[in-house]
């Protein structure tokens, strides 16, 4: 099912390539765009993870790292991978004050996880375990291929559509260059590509939260971590994500705003909804919330972080 979903997404994004190419250069432009799309799909399948890690300047780390915090992070990921019966992924860190994390790779045997230095500073070890279990859930579900390839191809579509700024419209059209069509495609094609991402990412995040909580056994710690990350991401910018917004869907929390609602233009479910689901899971497991206590989201929003 995961592979079928990936193929459907690739087909949809390839079609968008063709539509943008047609708007820019007519039939010839469409054929060229489709050829480029085919090459991009093949390249992205094998290299999308490397592209994303390089984009964020993620550095591999292991248990010999001089920082105690990083060593504990490595130990946490390795222990969780063993608990989940997954191959140990490549473990990386990103120099960024914004707390966030993501997973990438075409399959569990070629997976990588990344956490920002801001996340390691802000979260407790239990919360880090909750976050990394969420990322390993994406690996276990084989979401990482879909997420990474979609982000890479969507970025290519955005670039191709922007070329429309410098070219006329459909050359096969009897009306000649149609500037309205060109402008429409310049804006609609990236939007359409983004909608493909958004349509799949929200349900996928809920499922990764659920499985991640099972892997770590730290349902409430994951809820607390989501609240802290969301509050931190709302205050601390992520320049790389701002320059490449198509990669935002990879992160555990939207790096562009850190907040949002379940609406058409959100790449993630609202943090409050995710936390509510996790706390409901914890209650079903026999660990109800303490009566009268503020929710993790409310506590993190008030700050300071724990």
Provide the H-helix boundaries in 56-124: 68-83, 117-122
What is the rounded CA–CA span in Å between residue 221 and residue 213?
Answer: 9
Residue 305 CA, distance from chain mean position: 24
Is 296 exposed, middle or buried (CB count within 10 Å of its CB: 0-12, 13-18, 19+)?
buried
**Is 304 in a helix, a strand, or coil?**
coil
- Angle CA 200–216–45, to nearest 5: 40
Q: Let me know: does 258 contact 230? Beta carbons within 8 Å.
A: yes
Residues serving a catalytic function are: 135
Q: Which of 198, 213, 305 is nearest to 261 (CA)?
A: 198
What is the rounded CA–CA span in Å between residue 248 and residue 240?
Answer: 10
| Residue 6 tokens, joined | 């990936």
């Amino acid at each position: 099912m995961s592979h079928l979903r990936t193929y459907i997404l690739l087909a949809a994004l390839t079609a968008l390539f063709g539509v943008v190419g047609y708007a820019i250069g007519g039939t010839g432009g469409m054929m060229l765009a489709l050829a480029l799309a085919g090459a991009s799909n093949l390249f992205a399948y094998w290299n999308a993870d490397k592209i994303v890690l390089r984009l964020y300047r993620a550095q591999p780390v292991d248990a010999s790292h001089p920082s105690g915090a990083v060593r504990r992070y490595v130990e946490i990921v390795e222990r969780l991978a063993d608990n989940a019966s997954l191959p140990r992924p490549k473990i990386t860190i990103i120099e960024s004050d914004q707390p966030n994390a993501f997973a990438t790779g075409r399959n569990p045997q070629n997976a990588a996880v990344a956490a920002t230095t801001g996340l390691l500073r802000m979260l407790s070890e239990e919360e880090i375990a909750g976050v990394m279990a969420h990322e390993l859930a994406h690996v276990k579900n084989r979401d990482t291929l879909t997420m990474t390839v979609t982000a890479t191809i969507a970025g290519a579509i955005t670039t191709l559509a922007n070329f429309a700024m410098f070219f006329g419209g459909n050359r096969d059209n009897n009306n000649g260059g149609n500037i309205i069509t060109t402008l429409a495609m310049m804006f609609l094609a990236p939007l359409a590509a983004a909608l493909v991402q958004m349509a799949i990412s929200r349900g996928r995040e809920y499922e990764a939260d659920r499985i991640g909580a099972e892997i770590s056994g730290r349902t409430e710690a994951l809820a607390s971590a989501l609240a802290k990350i969301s509050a931190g991401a709302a205050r601390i910018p992520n320049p790389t994500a701002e320059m490449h917004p198509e990669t935002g869907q990879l992160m555990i929390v939207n790096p562009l705003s850190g907040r949002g609602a379940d609406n058409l233009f959100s790449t993630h479910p609202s943090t409050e909804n995710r936390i509510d689901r996790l706390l409901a899971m914890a209650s079903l497991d026999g660990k109800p919330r303490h009566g009268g206590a503020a929710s993790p989201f409310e506590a993190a929003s008030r700050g300071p972080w724990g």
